[in-house]
Amino acid sequence: MTDRRLPRPSAFADLLRFRTPTLNVTAARLARAHTIADLRRIAKRVTPKGPFDYTDGAAEEELSLARARQAFRDIEFHPAILRDVSAVDTTCTVAGGPSALPFGIAPTGFTRMMHSAGEKAGAAAAGAAGIPFSLSTVGTATPEEVAAANPSGRNWFQLYMWADRDRSMDVMGRAAASGFDTLLLTVDVPIGGARLRDRYNGLTIPPTLTGRTVLNAIPKVRWWFDFLTTEPIGFSTFKGFDGTVAELLDLMFDPTVDFDDLVWIRDQWPGKVIVKGIQTLADARRVADLGVDGVLLSNHGGRQLDRAPIPFHLLPAVRRELPADIEVWIDTGIMSGADIVAAIAMGARFTLVGRAYLYGLMAGGRAGADRAIAILADEVRRTMKLLGVRAVEELEPGHVTQLQRLVPRTV
């Protein structure tokens, strides 16, 4: 038998806990976001379809992106027990300098289309977190503006080689003069990939108002208000472009760039040089032999060649075959701190996150970028503790097994 009694009013007082109300709607939304997927859902609600799809989408059938994300899901962790993990050290040394966490912000193009705060917010958030920030050649802030937004942090510059080499060298020189310490030379862009969402949306720079975009914009009033009441979108390398994203990318990319150009650029840049877009072991070996400081395994977030190799699967072989003094980084498909920890364990020196950061930026500007970094940082620390790891350098391949899904067919 269960003894029952009438509830006392004081019992309700102990059970009822009301949150302190806030008039800041954005802050309230971000406080309820506990994963990058949560930030993505918010971003989709508050951002027009064109800019959101530009961030969220990939090339053609988007198989490269889907496979890269699946590769991180297809892992098994191997935790060690009975370790003192009351404190963990997430710091690392990358490209000759410090980072408070084993990830940085990847270079992203047209960033002020996603949110009017753009790269300035991302750079400031990265600086506050003690991690590097990367500015794209097609970023919507100048190197000088990024340096002003992140004066004490580490800024990196990502370079696309134009057919107009003087223009490429000019912006690269401005980045160096602004204190940027590392160059990310992107080499997987002889032409732009077929990013079909952008084509279907008719995405232009600046965004154009059509009947469809107006209807889509009705519930996104804040985005349009910010867009229309702030400075027009400009770029780190040029001003005044008016056309589709695809047209701009075709203008930007130079299909003649080769290994001789890589050597020439390496000699022009005063700091570290990382080659971004490596997708085969043979190419990793070749650029390492040319004297660069590192390689970034990347298929451009699935935005160039669909069905491209999966960077996370390529990682162990590249790390094993390259000299120890050549850093191996990775991006594409990283959506959680567990993904970052797995990549470091499998041999990556560092990781870059693009979409994960942009979802936060779209969800809430600078505060959203801060929230994205905080979510990933918390997940990194928690995963390390659950693995019984006290410092990033303790992570090693024995902590992770890459489970097998896509296997080459034998005849």
Distance CA 208, CA 244 (A): 10
Residue of 115, 300, 313, 399 with catalytic role: 300
Burial class (CB in 10 A: 0-12, 13-18, 19+), 196: middle
What is the full DSSP assignment across 112-145?
HHH-TTHHHHHHHHHHHHT--EEE-TT-SS-HHH
Cis omega (within 30 of 0) for bond into 107? no
The answer to whether 207 and 51 are in contact (CB under 8 A) is yes
Rounded CA gap, 176 and 178, in Å?
A: 5
Tokens, residue 398: 């024995």
Name the residue among 180, 108, 96 with its Cα closest to residue 146.
180
Helix, strand, or coil here: 48?
coil
Check: CB of residue 143 under 8 Å from CB of residue 117. Answer: no
- Please say if 399 is a catalytic residue: no
CA–CA dist 168, 178 (Å, integer)? 16
Residue with tokens 């400009």: 234
Cβ-contact 329, 352 below 8 angstroms: yes
Cβ contact 150:134 at 8 Å: no
Q: Which residues are catalytic?
A: 300
